[in-house]
Structure 1
Amino acid sequence: MSRKTGRTLYSRADLRKVHGISEPTLQNLWTDRENNGHPPVAETVDGVMHWDGDAWATWHHELQRQRAAANTTNPPKLDGDPEEMVGPAEAAKVCGFSDSATVSHYLKSPPEGWPEPDDWDELPTRRRPKWKRWKLWKYVAERKGRGHAGGRKKGRRRLAYPYQGDDRLTLARQLLAANPGAKNADLIAELQEKSETAYSRTVWHLILKSAREHPEEE
Structure 2
Amino acid sequence: METFDGRPYATRAELSARAGYKGDATLRALWTDREANGHPPACRIGRTLYWDLEEWERWHTAYRRQRNGVDYSGSPDEELAPVEQARVLGVEESAISRYRRYPPPGWPAPVREELLSGGGTREFRTRRQLWAYADAGPRAGTAGRRAAYEARVALAAEALDAVPGRGAGETAKALAEEHGGHWTTWRSAVTGARKLRPVPGGRSRRG
- TM-score, normalising length: structure 2: 0.46
Bigger RCO of structures 1 and 2 (CA < 8 A, at least 6 apart): 1
Q: Give the TM-score, by structure 1 length.
A: 0.44
Question: Is the helix fraction higher in 1 or 2?
Answer: 2
